[in-house]
Amino acid sequence: MPTVFRNVLGYKVYFRSNENDPREPVHVHVARRLGGDDAKFWVLHNGKVILDKNNSNLDPRDLRDLQTYLNRNGDEIIRKWVEYFRNKPTFIDDQK
């Protein structure tokens, strides 16, 4: 699982290598440890993120702070997605 950011408030931000076929739109997973229960954030065209699901039951305050951090770094997430998966990214706001 490629790590996007190693330590954001004690959480890892990462992609999963097997993101289905066809690949899901740009998103990241956030967890205390890789492979554990995680929260999933979709990344939009503009680099902003929205919470998809919180399987890890992260504290609402942590979720808010993580979302703020990810919003500030959305362009970097997109860049790393393209670099890792080597394809043109798709976004959930493409699918409307």
Helix (H, G, I), strand (E, B), or coil: what is residue 49?
A: strand
Residue 45 φ/ψ, nearest 5 degrees: -50, -40
Radius of gyration of the chain (CA): 12
Give the integer Cα–Cα distance in Å for 30 and 12: 6
Residues 6+ apart with CB under 8 A from 62: 9, 11
Encode pLDDT of 10-43 as tens digits.
Answer: 999 999 887 666 788 999 999 987 767 889 999 9
Give the pLDDT score at 19: 66
User: pTM for the full model?
Assistant: 0.90
Q: What share of the chain is helix, strand, coil (3-state, %, to 5)?
A: 30, 25, 45
Identify the CA nearest to 47 among candidates 21, 24, 22, 67.
67
Encode pLDDT of 70-86 as tens digits.
Answer: 999 999 999 999 999 98
Whether the predicted pLDDT of 87 surpasses 90: no
